[in-house]
């Protein structure tokens, strides 16, 4: 009797297990359909990747998910959770043949040096790769669930939808970039700068946030063109723009305003912070060495900084920055105006006084 009950119990367990698996599979496919439909309504690469992350979290409840897209000068990374950044970075650098961590652009995080980081077991990491005409990307994942055949089917289906959406979005963004990006430096052009500034002024005014801009141009740039030629001058402009873009903060916007003149929008930034940033960039530019043929070229830059006034006037903030730039030129170049007032500590003040006795 007991053996008969055990056999019946075992058969029932098998039947219920199959029913639950079928039900789970049907539920997961409903979720998958929902997320694939949502992909087609997204208007940016970041939104598309975020939808894929939501889908895989919903179905597989991953411990780690990273979506990495190859770009011209590095990679874009969408990472969750952020605590695995350091461990995963080494894999990405190797897989994408990148030597410099500065080429890694995180789409959904801004990291700080003192953040908590954790290691993970590399043996459990799985990845998926796809390569389209205008898109190469990899997904790295640590799933909580044991992977089976139908999970692979789910992942492949969501990746097919994602790949099509990202490829379409890349074409749209390329067309858009052609009209708003300066082809030489890769910065926004003047027309797009003015569009962006209008939007940021409206936002700053509405939310009562600070907003600053800085304008800079290269000192004695005509001499560079006259001495080394205009092609060398173009390379200098590219090098300077690259240095500034790499050392600006996430959310700051750099534009080429004309010739050797650039201008930047600094959201949620007061004048003092803008002056500090401008001075750091000035130093980085002065350290930059540009090579052209057998020549090495070094340049400096003068900066003018302005903060949005209470009238929220676009013309006024640009004029104020231009006026400060002119004063920086009169003040000897390779400087920032208004200038930073350096405050020394009491100990430093006492030391200086004693040295004068």
What pLDDT score was predicted for residue 355? 47
Q: How far is CA 299 from CA 16, 235, 256, 258, in A?
A: 75, 12, 17, 18
What pLDDT score was predicted for residue 22? 56
The CATH class, in words, for 19-179 is alpha beta
Residue 151 has pLDDT above 50, yes or no: yes
Q: How would you classify the pairing of strands 104-106 and 135-142? A: unpaired
Q: How would you classify the pairing of strands 104-106 and 74-80? A: parallel
Residue 128 has pLDDT above 70, yes or no: yes
pTM for the whole structure = 0.54
What pLDDT score was predicted for residue 131? 81
What pLDDT score was predicted for residue 24? 67
What pLDDT score was predicted for residue 13? 44
Higher-confidence residue: 347 or 65?
Answer: 65
pLDDT in tens, 160-219: 888 888 877 777 776 666 778 898 998 999 999 999 999 999 999 988 999 999 999 999
What pLDDT score was predicted for residue 255? 96
pLDDT in tens, 262-288: 999 999 999 999 999 999 999 999 999
Q: Residue 171: count other Cβ atoms within 10 Å of its Cβ.
A: 13
What pLDDT score was predicted for residue 170? 75
User: For the residues of 283-336, what is the DSSP string, one character each?
Assistant: HHHHH--EEETTEEE---EEEEEEE--TT--HHHHHHHHHHHHHHHHHTTSSSE
Decide: helix, strand or coil at residue 268: coil
Domain boundaries of the chain, sorted by first residue: 19-179, 190-337
Give the mean pLDDT of 298-306: 97
User: What is the phi-psi region of residue 309: left when phi exceeds 0, alpha when psi lies from -120 to 50, beta otherwise?
Assistant: beta
* CA–CA separation, 97 and 94 (whole Å): 5
Higher-confidence residue: 192 or 27?
Answer: 192
Tell me what the pLDDT averaged over the chain comes to: 83
User: What is the phi-psi region of residue 10: left when phi exceeds 0, alpha when psi lies from -120 to 50, beta otherwise?
Assistant: alpha
Could you say which architecture CATH assigns to the domain 190-337? 2-Layer Sandwich (3.30)
């Amino acid at each position: 009797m007991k053996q008969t009950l055990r056999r019946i119990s075992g058969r029932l367990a098998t039947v219920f297990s199959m029913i639950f698996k079928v039900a789970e599979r049907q539920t997961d496919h409903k979720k998958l359909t929902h997320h694939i439909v949502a992909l087609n309504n997204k208007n940016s690469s970041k939104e598309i990747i975020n939808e894929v992350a939501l889908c895989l979290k919903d179905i597989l409840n991953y411990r780690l998910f990273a979506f990495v897209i190859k770009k011209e000068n590095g990679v874009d990374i969408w990472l969750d959770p952020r605590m695995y950044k350091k461990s995963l970075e080494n894999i990405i650098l190797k897989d994408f043949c990148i030597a410099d961590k500065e080429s890694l652009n995180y789409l959904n995080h801004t990291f700080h040096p003192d953040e908590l980081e954790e290691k993970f077991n590399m043996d459990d990491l799985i990845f998926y790769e796809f390569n389209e005409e205008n898109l190469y990307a990899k997904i790295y994942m640590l799933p909580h669930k044991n992977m089976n055949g139908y999970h692979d089917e789910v992942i492949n289906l969501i990746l097919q939808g994602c790949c099509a959406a990202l490829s379409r979005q890349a074409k749209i963004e390329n067309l858009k970039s052609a009209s708003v990006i300066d082809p030489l430096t890769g910065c926004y052009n003047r027309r797009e700068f003015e569009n962006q500034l209008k939007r940021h002024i409206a936002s700053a005014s509405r939310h009562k946030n600070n907003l600053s801009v800085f304008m800079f141009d290269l000192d004695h740039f005509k001499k560079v063109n006259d001495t080394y030629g205009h092609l060398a001058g173009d390379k200098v402009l590219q090098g300077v723009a690259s240095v500034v873009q790499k050392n600006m903060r996430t959310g700051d916007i750099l534009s080429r305003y004309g010739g050797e003149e650039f201008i930047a929008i600094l959201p949620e930034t007061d004048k003092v912070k803008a002056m500090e940033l401008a001075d750091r960039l000035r130093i980085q530019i002065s350290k930059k060495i540009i090579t052209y043929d057998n020549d090495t070229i070094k340049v400096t830059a003068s900066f003018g900084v302005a903060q949005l006034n209470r009238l929220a006037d676009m013309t006024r903030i640009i004029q104020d920055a231009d006026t400060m730039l002119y004063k920086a030129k009169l003040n000897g170049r390779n400087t920032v105006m208004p200038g930073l007032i350096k405050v020394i500590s009491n100990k430093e003040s006492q030391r200086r006084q004693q040295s004068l006795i």
